[in-house]
Structure 1
Amino acid sequence: MNIAQLQKDLVAYALEIGVDKIGFTTAAPFLELKNRLKRQQDLGYQSGFEESDVEKRTEPALLLDRAESIISIAVAYPSKMTDAPKGKKGERRGMFCRASWGTDYHTVLREKLALLEEFLHERSSEVKTRSMVDTGELADRAVAERAGIGWSAKNCSIITPEFGSYVYLGEMITNLPFEPDVPMENQCGECTLCLDACPTGALIQGGQLNAQRCIAFLTQTKQPIPEEFRKEVGNRIYGCDTCQTVCPKNKRKYNLDQESFVPEAELVKPLLQPILKLSNLQFKETFGHMSGSWRGKNPIQRNAILALAHFKEEAAIPDLVELLETDPRPMIRHTCAWAIGEIGSETGRLTLERVVETETEDTVVEEIKKAVMKMAVTE
């Protein structure tokens, strides 16, 4: 088998099927990453969504027998939306981050990796492969960095010269000894715009993120968001793009070529109040094809409540009152109590004073009392 020719043919095929960038690296251990991940664990900075076994995250040989190389792919996603709907009083809108526009990227990249695997298996009966996207054991960004896709930036994203940091990443471990590409030189320089702009100070320093403070992480949790972060969430109902939108390397990187990721404007900037009334089935039918739906409707509804509080949307008070009085989920009642206190209507205050007498969840009772006190002070 002519490995060099196979690698050349694979690159050409990858571009043909819509992979925007492809790179290669060895299957050697990611030793520097291993040390960094262990420090993150010790500091309590990890999100809990990632693979907990540091060895599996950094030792490709544990994931595929006789692993020789790793193929890294990048697919660009759009940063710009045409004809975005605008919210107004009485019709406030939330926002899904750009990484949730269009079809779920896990599906799209897995399909492309499956085609690449098929390409290799058709040319060799002895080839072994294992692919993963985001939820696999390997750290996508570490693989992409070493494979020359881009450099690991201060905002903890991979930045490519062609597409900025608006790229999805995936990888395939193989037992074929492909020629590795050369890693790219870091081009962040002295710039600290992403660190300065992070709403919650989650970027501790260049390349180090405390996920527990990151809005992108917080919008995906299934508990009440800590009070210190609630106002910072703004109208984000999934994810956060701030550290990318301020990056000079992303200027004029619109990436509008991938049909799969063309945003449906009414879905990525949805009206907030209708979200509060969605059933599980309605949520899946409406948002289920988007990556931002993966945690289900509860976090999205909680975030929509925070967004209505952000706008101080008095028209939402009847919906919030209904949820506070009837919703079986403590997290939703908890968030409604806080939101009503932030919006500050007389109807809301009277409801809080009444409901506190019958509420059985201690954390919700505490939130109601705090909201009543806040409203009394601001009267």
Structure 2
Amino acid sequence: MNREKLKQEIIDYSKKIGIDKIGFASADVFSELKERLKRQQNLAYYSGFEKGSVEERTEPERLLPEAQSIISIAIAYPSRMENPPKSTKEERRGIFCRASWGTDYHVILRDRLEKLSAFIKEKVPEVKDKLMVDTGELSDRAVAERAGIGFSGKNTSIITPEFGSYVYLGELVTNIPFIPDEPVDDSCGECTKCLDACPTGALIQGGQLNAQRCIAFLTQTKDYLPDEFRTKIGNRVYGCDTCQVVCPKNKKIDFHIHPETEPDPEIAKPKLQPMLRISNREFKETFGHISGSWRGKKPLQRNALIGLAHYKDVSAVTEIIQVMQHDPRPVIRGTAAWSLGKIGTAEAFAAIEHALAIEKDEQVRYEMQKGLDFRHEVSAR
């Protein structure tokens, strides 16, 4: 087998099937990453969504015993949408992060990786491989960095020379010992714009993230959102792009290469009030094809309530009262009461008082009391 010839054939084929960047890395242990993950674990900076142990995340041979190389791929996605709908006083809107604008990127990347795997198997029938997309054990970013796709920026995103950080990443672990590509030089320099702009201070220092404070993580949790973050989330219903938007490497970066990554504006910037009453079936039909739906509707509805409070949307009061009175989920009832208090109309406070008199759940009652406490803010306006 001529490995150099095969490598070039794979590169050529990748362009035909819609892979924007491809790189080859060794399957050696990710020693530096291992130490960093252990530090993250000790500091409790984990999100809890990570798959596998530290060893599984840094030792490719644990995932494929014959591992010799890892093929890393990147697919660019848009940073701007055409004719985005405006949020108005009559119809307040939320926003999904850019990585969740089009078809679920797991589907897109898996399609490309499966085609790549099939192509390699045609050339080398005895090959062994394992593909991973985000939900796998390996760190997509660590693999991409080693494979020369881009460098790891201070915002912890892989930044490519061509597409900035607006790329989806996936990898194929294989037993073929390809010649590895050279990593890309880090060019963040002295810039700290992402650290300075992070709404919650989640970027502790360049390249270190406390996921427990990251809005992208917080929007995906299902419990009550801690108070300190409720005023930071704004109208985000899923994810956060701040550290990417402010990055100078992303200035004027906007690629519309793949139709499946294009956003439906009505889904990417959804009306908030209708999200409060959406049924499971409607939710699946409307949002089921995007990655932002993976945790179900509960976190998004909680975030929508916080978004309406952010706007102090008086027109939503009647709708939110219905949620507070009738929703069977304590987190949603409690967040609705808090939201009503932030909006701060007489009708809202009266409804909270009425609901508090019959509410049995202690945490919901606590949230209702917090909602009533906003009277002091309203009287001081």
Fold match (TM-score > 0.5): yes
Q: How big is the shift at 1:44?
A: 0.4
Using the alignment, how far apart are the partners of 2:374 and 2:357 within structure 1?
A: 18
1:170–1:377 Cα change, 3 Å: closer
Superposed, 1:265-280 pairs within 5 Å as 265-280=265-280
**Does residue 361 in structure 1 map to residue 361 in structure 2?**
yes
Q: How big is the shift at 1:72?
A: 0.3
Using the alignment, how far apart are the partners of 2:301 and 2:261 within structure 1?
A: 23
Deviation string, structure 1 residues 72-100 (Cα, Å, up to 9, x no partner): 00000000111000011020000000000
**Partner residue in 2 for 1:29:** 29
**Partner residue in 2 for 1:207:** 207
**Partner residue in 1 for 2:44:** 44
Using the alignment, how far apart are the partners of 1:245 and 1:282 within structure 2?
A: 31
Superposed, 1:305-320 pairs within 5 Å as 305-320=305-320
Superposed, 1:216-365 pairs within 5 Å as 216-365=216-365
Using the alignment, how far apart are the partners of 1:14 and 1:174 within structure 2?
A: 16
Q: How big is the shift at 1:65?
A: 2.2
Using the alignment, how far apart are the partners of 2:215 and 2:370 within structure 1?
A: 24
Using the alignment, how far apart are the partners of 1:58 and 1:214 within structure 2?
A: 23
Between 108-117 and 50-59, report the one with greater CA deviation.
50-59
**Does residue 77 in structure 1 map to residue 77 in structure 2?**
yes
Structure 2 gap ranges (5+) = none
The normalised TM-score by structure 1 is: 0.99
Superposed, 1:122-201 pairs within 5 Å as 122-201=122-201
Aligned partner letter, 1:370:
K
Using the alignment, how far apart are the partners of 2:282 and 2:221 within structure 1?
A: 21
Q: How big is the shift at 1:222?
A: 0.5
Between 132-141 and 44-53, report the one with greater CA deviation.
44-53
Deviation string, structure 1 residues 158-199 (Cα, Å, up to 9, x no partner): 000100000000000000011100111100000000000000
**Does residue 93 in structure 1 map to residue 77 in structure 2?**
no
Using the alignment, how far apart are the partners of 1:375 and 1:104 within structure 2?
A: 42
Aligned partner letter, 2:282:
Q
Using the alignment, how far apart are the partners of 2:35 and 2:352 within structure 1?
A: 50
Q: How big is the shift at 1:371?
A: 1.5
Q: How big is the shift at 1:285?
A: 0.3
Using the alignment, how far apart are the partners of 1:208 and 1:366 within structure 2?
A: 35
Deviation string, structure 1 residues 250-276 (Cα, Å, up to 9, x no partner): 001101111111110111011110111
Using the alignment, how far apart are the partners of 2:334 and 2:188 within structure 1?
A: 41
Partner SS for 2:292: helix
Aligned partner letter, 1:226:
P
Deviation string, structure 1 residues 284-304 (Cα, Å, up to 9, x no partner): 000000010000000111111
Using the alignment, how far apart are the partners of 2:150 and 2:342 within structure 1?
A: 43
Aligned partner letter, 1:296:
G
Q: How big is the shift at 1:124?
A: 1.3
Partner SS for 2:110: helix
Structure 1 gap ranges (5+) = none
Partner SS for 2:74: strand
Using the alignment, how far apart are the partners of 1:370 and 1:16 within structure 2?
A: 57
**Partner residue in 1 for 2:109:** 109
Q: How big is the shift at 1:42?
A: 0.6
Deviation string, structure 1 residues 140-164 (Cα, Å, up to 9, x no partner): 0000000000000000000001000
Moved over 6 A (4+): none
Deviation string, structure 1 residues 307-328 (Cα, Å, up to 9, x no partner): 0000000000011100101100
Using the alignment, how far apart are the partners of 2:370 and 2:21 within structure 1?
A: 52
Q: How big is the shift at 1:123?
A: 1.0
Partner SS for 1:233: coil
Using the alignment, how far apart are the partners of 1:16 and 1:145 within structure 2?
A: 23
Q: How big is the shift at 1:377?
A: 5.0
Using the alignment, how far apart are the partners of 2:52 and 2:125 within structure 1?
A: 34
The normalised TM-score by structure 2 is: 0.99
Aligned partner letter, 1:117:
S
Aligned Cα root-mean-square deviation (Å) = 0.7
Using the alignment, how far apart are the partners of 1:85 and 1:29 within structure 2?
A: 47
Using the alignment, how far apart are the partners of 1:102 and 1:329 within structure 2?
A: 29
Between 70-79 and 367-376, report the one with greater CA deviation.
367-376
Q: How big is the shift at 1:378?
A: 2.8
Aligned partner letter, 1:141:
R
Partner SS for 1:328: coil
Q: How big is the shift at 1:356?
A: 0.7
